[in-house]
Amino acid sequence: MQRLAPALREDNVPLDLISLIKTILAATKEISFRVSQAHLGGLMGSTLDENIQGEVQKELDVVANELFKDILLESGFVKAVSSEEEDTSVAGNPKGKYLVSFDPLDGSSNIEINSLIGTIFSIHPAPENMDADDPDMFKQAGHKQVCAGYVLYGPATMLVMTTGSGTHFYVLDRTHGGYLLVERNVQVPEETQEFAVNMSNQRFWQAPMKNYIDDLLLGDTGPRGKNFNMRWIAAMVGDVHRVLTRGGIFTYPADNKDPKKPYKLRLMYEANPMSFLVEQAGGISVTSEGRIMDIEPGSIHQRVEVILGSKKEVEACLAYYK
């Protein structure tokens, strides 16, 4: 099996980007270890703090965030970072060529049940003419990403990454300490009979999504003429990983549960990186109004509607909005 750096060189990834990716992966190896020891080290609880999104931070969220941030800022490769757990961007090397946005521990409600969690990251080029402490540097559309990926801390620690030449799967080989390429150019099947959505929100959705899911539930007795299975991991890393592995549709639609917060998922460190991975694997990733990677971000913590996965199924869903 091929090691990571030669695989990236084969895809003509610039050397400084390879170095940045290796830095990110060094952080994920440490997070993977800390996650595996969290029960033993008394790191299972919540802090008394909330992040800027008003969510209570788990102890592991904070540990993973500090680790990731410190390693990146010390590396010299990044001009600034932004994180789910930071109020605003944090300046790094003014000459750094890249910006990294990340969710250090996605799916943190799964921590206490020893279920799937992961780290999501997205890399943009750093504008040369802006100051390192200017958060506006991050206002770049997803199609400008030069790399995106996630590391899933599951039974195997897996890296799923794209630099724009397909989406590839790697597994952390603990015997030599590096990530090895296990599947090149993953392809999301065009059709599926599996969907992922938090059904408990159904009464808060807009009519088109309600109608679409109602028709999936009718199975072979309804207009779709086939039965659908449902899965929900409550961690986007887990649900997207299933979609990339065997197809499916994943959505976190708009809802009116809290009129001040119609969307749940964050554009910069959830929706954009996942969209890059899904599109590079032949899938689609959109809101009900258009391509996610074309959205011009207004702020670092902006939220967005997400509908992604198997091409024909996402198109079938969008047809309900026409």
Binding site for ligand AFP (CB under 6 A): 55, 106-109, 198, 234-236, 239, 252, 264-265
Residue 266 C-beta: closest distance to ligand AFP, Å: 7
CA distance 188 to 139: 29
The residue type found at 121 is F
Residue 237 C-beta: closest distance to ligand AFP, Å: 7
Beta strand pairing call for 303-304 and 265-266 = antiparallel
Which residue lies nearer to ligand AFP by CB, 107 or 309?
Answer: 107
Which residue lies nearer to ligand AFP by CB, 55 or 86?
Answer: 55
Cα-trace Rg, the chain: 19
Which residue lies nearer to ligand AFP by CB, 106 or 313?
Answer: 106
Select the residue whose beta carbon is closest to ligand AFP and give its number: 236
Which residue lies nearer to ligand AFP by CB, 97 or 264?
Answer: 264
Residue 5 C-beta: closest distance to ligand AFP, Å: 29
Which residue lies nearer to ligand AFP by CB, 195 or 252?
Answer: 252
Beta strand pairing call for 284-286 and 118-125 = unpaired
**Maximum Cα–Cα distance across the chain:** 61
| Residue 120 near residue 270 (C-beta atoms within 8 A) | yes
Residue 108 C-beta: closest distance to ligand AFP, Å: 4
Residue 160 C-beta: closest distance to ligand AFP, Å: 15
At 9, is the secondary structure helix, strand, or coil? helix
| Residue 126 near residue 112 (C-beta atoms within 8 A) | no
Structure tokens at 267: 């554009």
Residue 176 C-beta: closest distance to ligand AFP, Å: 31
Write the burial class of residue 91 (CB in 10 Å: 0-12 exposed, 13-18 middle, 19+ buried).
middle
Which residue lies nearer to ligand AFP by CB, 168 or 266?
Answer: 266
